[in-house]
């Protein structure tokens, strides 16, 4: 009897814990608010965010293809991703793109660690996946970090494709030499053991309101 009741207690504890920890995270962090991406007031921000992420996302995929066409994957580890990527400059009176970032709950590079609004976005996506709701197409946040201007963040989830597996796939299926290169360059790497179609992380852009004329 005892052996049977244990998993029930455990799963009950998890059910009870989840909402409590969520509330604690929300209460502790007033730096960000999730907004409805379909709100017409956000149309301009959304359009700019989506266009930029579409461009950066397809550049990331094309770059992987291009680099792997000429380099062994183990050599390519030091070249990826988007190291020379430049954001387009805003036209006068238009919202201004200030940053693009890739981040994940399973990080390869500590330089891509999520800050608290990003962590909230990643956890929101993970929760939706756990609930069987699928991956959201887009998230938008208003972010107010101390000492910084108010910014909008637009997030798009990234999936794993076949050409990602040389460096992010199951450990025993990584391309030759990749595991060694990762051990040297990213000793705390957690970004392996992905399968095609799995959620890998997000691309996000930050946008400021257009500069007001004095």
> Is residue 166 involved in binding ligand HEC (CB under 6 A)?
yes
> Is residue 122 involved in binding ligand HEC (CB under 6 A)?
no
Q: How many angstroms separate the Cα of 181 from the Cα of each of 60, 79, 84, 177?
A: 20, 12, 21, 6
Shortest distance, position 80 Cβ to ligand HEC, whole Å:
4
- CB-based contacts of 207, cutoff 8 Å, min separation 6: 45, 48, 49, 95, 96, 97, 98, 151, 152, 153, 154
Number of residues in contact with ligand HEC under rule CB under 6 A: 26
> Which is nearer to ligand HEC, 15 or 188 (by Cβ)?
188
> Which is nearer to ligand HEC, 48 or 74 (by Cβ)?
74
Tokens of 46: 């959304």
- CB-based contacts of 127, cutoff 8 Å, min separation 6: 22
Residues 76-95 that bind ligand HEC (CB under 6 A): 76-77, 80-81
Window 173-202: contact mask with ligand HEC (x via CB under 6 A): ------------------x--------xx-
- CB-based contacts of 196, cutoff 8 Å, min separation 6: 160, 161, 162, 165
Site residues, ligand HEC (CB under 6 A): 61, 64, 73, 76-77, 80-81, 102-104, 107-109, 111-112, 158, 160-161, 163-164, 166-168, 191, 200-201
């Amino acid at each position: 009897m005892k052996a049977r009741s244990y998993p029930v207690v455990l799963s009950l504890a998890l059910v009870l814990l989840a909402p409590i920890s969520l509330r604690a995270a929300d209460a502790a962090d007033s730096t960000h608010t999730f907004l409805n991406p379909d709100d017409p007031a956000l149309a301009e921000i959304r359009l700019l965010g989506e266009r930029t992420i579409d461009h950066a996302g397809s550049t990331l995929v094309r770059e992987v293809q291009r680099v792997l066409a000429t380099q062994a994957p183990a050599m390519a580890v030091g070249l990826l991703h988007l190291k020379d990527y430049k954001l387009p400059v805003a036209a006068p009176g238009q919202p201004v793109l200030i940053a693009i970032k890739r981040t994940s709950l399973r990080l390869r590079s500590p330089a891509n660690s999520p800050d608290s609004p990003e962590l909230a976005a990643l956890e929101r996506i993970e929760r939706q996946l756990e609930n069987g709701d699928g991956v959201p197409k887009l998230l938008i946040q208003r972010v107010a970090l101390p000492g910084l201007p108010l910014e909008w963040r637009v997030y798009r989830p990234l999936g794993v494709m076949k050409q990602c597996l040389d460096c992010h796939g199951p450990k025993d299926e990584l391309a030759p030499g990749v595991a060694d290169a990762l051990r040297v360059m990213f000793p705390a790497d957690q970004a392996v053991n992905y399968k095609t179609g799995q959620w890998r992380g997000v691309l996000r852009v930050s946008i400021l309101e257009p500069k007001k004329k004095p």
